[in-house]
Amino acid sequence: MSLGITISFDMENGVSIGGIPKTVRENKGKSLLEFIDNYVVLDLETTGLDPTYDEIIEIAAIKISNGEKIAEFTTLVKPECLIDEYITQLTGITNEMVKDAPKIEKVLPELINFLGDSVIAAHNANFDINFLYDNCMFCINKAFSNNFIDTMRISRRLFKDIRHRLVDLSKEFKITADIQHRAMADCELTQKVYEYMRNHCNTNNIDLAAFHKTSHGKSFDLDNYKPESEEFDVSNPIYGMSVCFTGALEKFQRKDALQIVTNLGGIPSDSVTKTTNILVLGNNDYCSSIKDGKSNKQKKAEDLILKGYDLIIISEKSFYDML
């Protein structure tokens, strides 16, 4: 399937897409698109969205066997840096709450022992898996290689024209969700969403692996950017997403980034609106020490997230990982 993007391999930097070096997480587990009976639901709360710059501040995991909880793991984690006010507003986790919590170096071996070789289920799973992978490499010099199931990927495949955040799916599926953005509550909700979608497929005789959208179904916001192919990989995380950039990009020019989004079936945008799904921060903007130096796009995106809109903020590096 052609996406109009050159894919090559560089022995020093790994895979590159259109000449852009891409992080290669060797021995990372596979993303599975299936329903299984035994798994561990996982959720992390972090100080931000990029494993390179940000830290884990809460971990929760629930072992599930045939639809029933058989064990759980939960802990706050003390980060090296202070928790940003925005993250506190989003998660409810304060610096006071984590001041006496164990550090990630102590927590990680206990978590890995709890997880064993279980398949991990998580909502927007690559986020949690990448944080775990990078922390495992740093703390214990070992790749996190568990296979994983992404409930967001399943919901995007099954349901059209709805938002796919956990809170939105809980409303759509009429699942009670009193607490949001705390790790254990999100684990419990993820498990309920996963089982709901399993029942939906069983009731409607849907083969999840074969079920997919056949058309793009959305127009492009910027007239100057047209896809170089009308065939799209609908499972890629950019497909159907409205993507905006802010700040100076280090690896390529803005126009090239917008074309890549278009080629992947995404919707390039030059402003943050209520329909924006992803805001990519140039590396000059993305720095944990910057408090008042955020761009207007970033401030607007943070405000929309706090108001409940289906939007995430990622770094330029995380954008490469999504490709």
pLDDT: is 93 or 9 the higher one? 93
254-271 mean pLDDT? 87
Q: Which string of b and e fits 242-275 if b means at least 16 CB within 10 Å? A: bbbbbbebebeeeeebbbbbbbbbbbbbeebeee
- 16 burial level (CB within 10 Å; 0-12, 13-18, 19+): middle
pTM, full prediction: 0.69
- Which amino acid belongs to residue 91? T
Calpha distance 57→45 (Å, rounded):
6
pLDDT digits (tens, 9 = 90+) for 28-86: 999 999 999 999 999 999 998 888 889 999 999 999 999 999 999 999 999 999 999 99
Q: Which residues are catalytic?
A: 181
255-280 mean pLDDT? 89
The predicted pLDDT at position 187 comes to 96
Domain annotation for the chain: domains and CATH numbers? 31-203 (3.30.420.10), 213-322 (3.40.50.10190)
Query: pLDDT category, 180, cuts 50, 70, 90?
Result: low
**Does residue 5 register a pLDDT over 90?**
no
129: its two tokens: 């898996």
Number of other CB atoms surrounding residue 160 within 10 Å: 9
Calpha distance 316→215 (Å, rounded):
28
Query: pLDDT category, 199, cuts 50, 70, 90?
Result: very high
β-strands 56-65, 38-46 pairing? antiparallel
Could you tell me the sign of the dihedral formed by the alpha carbons of 287, 293, 294, 295, in that order?
Answer: negative
Residues 6+ apart with CB under 8 A from 45: 56, 57, 58, 59, 91, 93, 181, 182, 183
